[in-house]
């Protein structure tokens, strides 16, 4: 039963954002979907993190970052309700074959959100490590350092 629910959940985001997967397939990249809201401080920090030149260079080679704003898009609101997400930001990683690679959650099902706390950062960096073909340990360390840097700016 749980496997079926996961498949159904995957299909919902695939239906709403087919162009992201078409582009991912064309560019041979994974897609990081990030649910956010215009009034969410942690969401803005996550945006700044992904806009950082070092982060863009590292992640941009293997990932498309696709922001889903739940404050101004019908599909974003619908997906947020469909997944019964407890808060934002929330991130999920899919491959170009539309398969969910990481749901951005702790083992208990709670979402990691902006991965600043050590357990959440470990989950985020491990998701990048597992879903990347070329990101090395030095680059992962830099990604972790950048997460902490942008938190301190807030």
Cis peptide before 89 (omega within 30 of 0): yes
Measure Cα distances from 68 to 49, 77, 78, 82, 113 in Å. 16, 9, 11, 14, 14
Residue-wise pLDDT for 17-40, tens only, equals 889 999 999 999 999 999 998 899
Residue-wise pLDDT for 53-62, tens only, equals 999 999 999 9
Contact 75, 16 (CB under 8 A): yes
Percent of the chain with pLDDT over 70: 90
Name the residue range of residue 96's domain: 2-153
CATH number, domain of 53, equals 3.40.30.10
Residue-wise pLDDT for 51-99, tens only, equals 999 999 999 999 999 998 888 777 777 777 777 777 889 999 999 999 9
Count how many domains the chain has.
Answer: 1
Residue 8 has pLDDT above 60, yes or no: no
pTM here is: 0.86
pLDDT score at 4: 33
């Amino acid at each position: 039963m749980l496997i079926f629910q996961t498949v159904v959940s995957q299909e919902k985001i695939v239906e709403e954002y087919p162009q992201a997967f078409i582009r991912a397939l064309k560019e041979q990249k994974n897609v990081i979907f990030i649910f956010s809201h215009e009034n969410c401080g942690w969401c803005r920090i996550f945006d700044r993190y992904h806009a950082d030149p070092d982060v863009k260079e590292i992640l941009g080679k293997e990932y498309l970052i696709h922001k889903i704003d739940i404050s101004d898009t019908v599909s974003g609101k619908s997906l947020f309700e469909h997944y019964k997400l407890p808060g934002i930001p929330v991130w999920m990683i899919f491959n170009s074959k539309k398969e969910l690679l990481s749901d951005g959650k702790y083992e208990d099902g709670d979402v990691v959100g902006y991965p600043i706390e050590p357990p959440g950062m470990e989950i985020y960096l491990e998701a990048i490590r597992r879903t990347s073909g070329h990101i090395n340990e030095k680059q992962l360390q830099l990604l972790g350092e950048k997460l902490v840097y942008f938190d301190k700016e807030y």
